[in-house]
Structure 1
Amino acid sequence: MHGELQELGRAVKQAQYRQHRALDSALQSVGTTLAQWDALRAISRSPGASARELAAATFQTEQAFGTLAGRLTGQELVERRPGHGRRIEHHLTPAGEQVLAAGHKVADKVLADCFSALPDTDRATLLDLLRRLTAPRDA
């Protein structure tokens, strides 16, 4: 049984790795990387969020996200503003919105290709299964 579970884990990781490489490569055409575009997506979904919140949303450490946000601020894609107390809020600039939109178009094409081997019903089943695996569990 452990062999089958390990094979399943490896297959999920391999699919993710292939998808990430394809996205990162294609996103270069619009002047961004997967990590940067993912950060822009997270900020767009939660304008005004803190680095801690955005790090969790992008599966990064707070320190790694802070470094990335610094780069995005330097590229004038993100604006950091003082919030309540010591909180620093993150917002997209108009240029950040443009890069995000361009990235969405690229990602849609790449992901359509990544999942093209699966018919719509299989993609829906896979999504349902992955959502069940990642859903919060009761203690």
Structure 2
Amino acid sequence: MSDTTDSKPVLDSSDLVAAIPYAAYLDIRIEQADDGEARVYRMPYRDDLIGSPRLPALHGGTVASLLELAMQFEVLIAEAQTRLPYPVDFSIDYWRSAAAADCWCRCRLIRSGRRIAQVQAECWQEDRERPIAFARADFLLRAVDGASEAE
């Protein structure tokens, strides 16, 4: 079943997205699946996100940005206290070209400790069973004042 039709906006996400200018530029939307399992992150399609007009295909950088930002948002939302996730490692596997359509992403928080969070994310378009990219990231969790959390 595709997640493109069974999600609804998370009402308090606009301030979070607006706080990150590139996330606002990409118009990333944080939505809750009707099944209540997890958050879904959506990047609506726009012509200016096309990287290859010949295909047409979305620019790979926008897909990578969606994945990285979604993982950061997932850590921010899941954390009980306010700590900023600073990316220290990020890898992405592109499985197919991203067509001229909305992109959807779902994240899985693998570990969130005192200092490090590890997250995986999967991105798809029309069919969740046919992902276009998969990413993994490690984030250093820093206190809001910029100081690293002490062990």
TM range (shorter): under 0.3
TM-score scaled by structure 2? 0.22
Q: Decide which structure has greater strand share.
A: 2
TM-score scaled by structure 1? 0.24
